[in-house]
Amino acid sequence: MSSKYMLFARCIPSGECLKCPFKGKSVTYGPFKSRRRGMSVGINLYPGEKVCSFNCVYCFRGSTAVKTLEPTVDTYRISAEVLRKALEEALRNVGELDAVDFSGSGEPTLHPKFSEFIDVVRDFTRELNLDVSVGVFTNSTTLDREDVVRALRKLDYVEAKLDTVVEWKFKVINRPYKTLRISDIVDNLVRFRRIFSGTLAVQVMLLRYLRVSNYTVQDAELLANTLLKIKPDVVHIYTVYRLPRLSSVLRVDEESMIKYARVLEEKGLNVEVFTR
């Protein structure tokens, strides 16, 4: 094990990742009560630096160090052996457990060993007879890659980000890698849904940033029409609840969130709203 990263870090009570003394330097972290997944342990494939295809204005993980769409190895070259040791360490520090999810500092599916690491988690949970759901939180930008799609199909749960379907708002809020287009991401999500038999959730972060917002009725209608094509099992609507990367990012009030969600529900979509 490198002295520069930890196998496991216990999450601080406040849940404010930007204030965590470990600064994302652990391979596993938790336990934490996820609003969507229950009692969880997270897997961070990039304990060296944040690698992502986005640099979202609201990200509570901080700014992106390496913005890319190419498969990227982490600074410390985490191996299958290290991940297994990290899972063992996490289990020693966790009681009740509902889910193990790939998340952490950046986009997990950018790691070239992502598929192999899913197998490590699956083998580990099977050997210990753990009744847990294995999933990923993804920004949906790598679904054009066959290797990523094959890996994701091995999971129980995929939570895919889709904050807006308006191209200019997408660029302002998510600050994507230069070649990314929201229409391509949507098309890839539609194709993925057709072949994925697990639970597909779409998460939507509602916010205000300077003069930009993504929670108008028009925003909701545009997203609803897109989600009808994707056909997720559930849509998760939430707002800024942890310290955002930029202080100019503001929460959306509960009334506006419920109004937004109602538009989606009227279209027949299954929606859960997290106001805090």
H-helix segments, the chain:
80-92, 114-127, 146-152, 167-174, 182-195, 217-230, 254-266
In sequence order, what are the beta bridge partners of 98?
none
Asked whether the beta carbons of 248 and 256 are under 8 A apart, the reply is: no
Which domains are assigned to the chain?
6-203 (3.20.20.70)
Q: What is the full per-residue pLDDT of the chain (276 aa) written as tens digits?
A: 455 889 998 876 655 665 666 667 899 998 887 777 888 999 999 998 999 999 999 998 889 999 999 999 988 889 999 999 999 999 988 878 999 999 988 999 999 999 999 999 999 999 999 999 999 999 999 999 999 999 999 999 999 999 999 999 999 999 999 999 999 999 999 999 999 999 999 999 999 999 999 999 999 999 999 999 999 999 999 999 888 889 999 999 999 999 999 999 999 999 999 987
